[in-house]
Amino acid sequence: MDLKTTLASDKIDLPNDFFQKVQKYKEHLFKWNKIHNLTGAKNEQTLNEFIYDAVFPVSFLPKVDSLMDIGTGAGFPGMILAFALPDTKITLVEPLTKRASFLQFIKADLGLENVSVVKKRVEEMEPQMFDLITSRAVTDTKMLLNLSKNFRDEHSKLLFYKGEKVFDEVAADMHMKHKIIETKNRHYLLLGEEL
Ligand SMILES: C[S@@+](CC[C@H](N)C(=O)[O-])C[C@H]1O[C@@H](n2cnc3c(N)ncnc32)[C@H](O)[C@@H]1O
């Protein structure tokens, strides 16, 4: 996949320095990933697919001032969204030392003033409100709603990166308004009282 061409053809509005940041991020991730097992994306093609998947929601998300990503791992989707949304204050929550250290390194090396890295499990954090809560490949929707309950109010939105199981997950006991945005490989679940 040519990331730049694909994102341009989707008309996704990104800041001028997005691809510079992505390039530096990819170089660092390849180096770190040789020593530490940070992500399953081991080649450029897969990494580009992960980055596309992470940033695609910029095409449908409302403007938000604050975002928390639960279980960011090596950076998906929270770090990639931080490159795309420089005016949004982004909190990346990741308890594993190696992964949190990598995120902290990327923040410092790329000078990302909009990023905070929290090396904790989300349930260990002090309650605080966010406009948007994201998560990919951490746990199911019911558990994510539970884990995020101290961090959202009636104005907040949640965006979970899901597969086809999403239909079972929303069918079971879902009281919140929701939308599912489908692409070829992804079902994005957007939830909120004000959708
Ligand atoms: C399978 S990885 C997915 C990482 C990344 N979101 C991605 O899609 O590549 C799950 C991550 O969630 C983190 N995690 C698990 N439970 C968590 C919790 N309670 N709070 C915050 N992070 C958690 C793990 O440390 C791990 O890095």
Burial classification of residue 116, based on how many CB atoms lie within 10 Å of its CB (0-12 exposed, 13-18 middle, 19 or more buried):
middle
Dump pLDDT digits (tens) for 94-105.
999 999 999 999
pLDDT tens figures, 107-134: 999 999 999 999 999 999 999 999 999 9
pLDDT value of position 84: 98
Pick the CATH number of 3-7+16-192 from 3.40.50.450, 3.40.1380.20, 3.10.20.600, 3.40.50.150: 3.40.50.150
What is the number of other CB atoms lying within 10 angstroms of the CB of residue 64?
Answer: 18
Q: Is the ipTM of this complex over 0.95?
A: yes
Query: What is the per-residue pLDDT for 173?
Result: 67
The answer, yes or no, to whether any atom of ligand 1 lies below 6 A from the CB of 99, is yes
Q: Residues of the chain whose pLDDT is less than 50?
A: none
Report the residue among 32, 33, 138, 162 best suited for mutation to probe ligand 1: largest number of ligand atoms under 8 A from its CB: 138
* 8 Å CB contact between 193 and 177: yes
Residue 72 CB–ligand 1 contact under 6 Å:
yes
Domain definitions of the chain by residue range: 3-7+16-192
